[in-house]
Amino acid sequence: MLYLALSLAGVVCVAAGLAQAEDAGDKPVATTPVSTLKQWIVEGTSKRGKKIDGANQWGIWAMEDLFKARTPEATEALKEILMTYGVDPVVKRRIILSMGYRGTKEFLDSITEFEAWARKTSENPPAFRIDTGAYGNNGGVLGESYNRCLGECTDPSGKRWALVLHPFSPTGGTFWMTSALGNDQWSGPILVRTGIQEYPKTATLTGGPDTFEVRHAEDVKWTLSIPTALKDSDGDGSPDIREEWLGTDAQKPDSDGDGVPDGKDGNPLTPPVRPGNEDLKAIRQAAFTVRVATQWERVPVVLWIHSQDGNPEPQEFLGYGGPVLWSTERLEGFINVNDLTVKMLSETEAKVRIGFSQAMCLGSGEEYLARKIDDKWFIVDGCGGWSE
């Protein structure tokens, strides 16, 4: 296991390959206007207008300069960056950690505002763009996770449809079906399949205008008809095919009985929970906010947690655009969280670990310091990260 220091006292980022050769040693200068620093971060570009490909060290430098500026304008810019889709999630995480570390009222209020904004993403997801990151300009942080359009077809009514692969790991990924809205924008995609062992090369149209045929090299692996993909037996807004992959009940509009239909429920398999240890729940949510709600993907997050502090009682996690599912097993192709351990240090301080299982033998995670300030828990420092 490789353990990396992430303390803000001596910031070391865990993302691999941060250095950008072209801009190395060519940092922004202190006189750079706030608006320019913000623009670089939001657009994912360097000062030369070059699109940053790979982890965005330039954006992190610009972010650090915004913190150094210590002006209300810079504070406002940092908050606005948090509430912008498409910003490199690593930069967003660093902003939240730095805000918590500094702990001023303005910064803590900004984190609270970000949380409220993020919680609306399930209801109003940003436009889907093919051939970029999952939900906008990815900044390349996740390496392979650029969507790839495998094929397009037009149905008898003239509507254009596309089948999109979202690679997730060397052995996993998800397939999504989406329809064209115009202006290179696409509808919120429907999850139609996941868990692949090898990426297919193409999807071709076959057997009429409504069916995608997906091939691995020469072998036909599977077909998908558009009417089948759209069928929603219980009318809850979540098509049968998606319900099958998520494990929700395709014949029951509200699988977990919490009053929210499956198609609108960000936690469709979390039944109403009776009051429990509210501090523990709030600390776990704070870690989830930093590490997961900063992403704008919709790849389902699967919680199959066997934490050192016992099997936590299911709770709803908010702020992520895709569904969050409790499961008894790891689900290939999804974002698997296998650890959310809280260790109380005092009544107002705790350490929390959030761990991810990338593949059978691969894992990574982070540990954070949480502090209760004015009756609310904030992550105030990153204590380290690991990968194995």
Using CB under 5 A, list all residues that contact Ca ion.
232, 234, 236, 238, 254, 256, 258, 260, 265
- Which residue number has the CB closest to Ca ion? 265
Please say which residue, 40 or 317, places its beta carbon nearer to Ca ion: 317
> Closer CB to Ca ion, residue 165 or residue 301?
301
Q: How far is the CB of 253 from Ca ion (least distance, A)?
A: 7
Q: How far is the CB of 245 from Ca ion (least distance, A)?
A: 12
Sheet containing 211-216: give its strands across.
202-205, 211-216, 219-225
- Rank residues 55 and 190 by Cβ distance to Ca ion and give the closer one: 190
| CB-based contact 167:206 (threshold 8 Å) | no
Which residues is 131 bridged to in the sheet?
none
| Residue 184 beta carbon to Ca ion: minimum distance, rounded to whole angstroms | 29
Minimum separation from the CB atom of position 304 to Ca ion (A):
20
Least distance to Ca ion, CB of residue 8, Å: 38
Burial string for 90-110 (b: 16+ CB within 10 Å, else e) reads bbbbbbbbbbbbeeeeebbeb
- 196: tokens are 């692949």
Question: Of the two residues 52 and 250, which places its CB atom closer to Ca ion in the complex?
Answer: 250
CA distance 348 to 372: 5
- Least spacing, CB of residue 92 vs Ca ion, in Å: 28
Indicate the residue among 65 and 249 with the shorter CB distance to Ca ion.
Answer: 249
Name the residue nearer to Ca ion (CB basis): 80 or 254.
254
Q: Which is nearer to Ca ion, 236 or 366 (CB)?
A: 236
Minimum distance from residue 273 beta carbon to Ca ion (Å)? 13
Q: Which is nearer to Ca ion, 249 or 366 (CB)?
A: 249
Least distance from C-beta 119 to Ca ion, angstroms?
A: 16
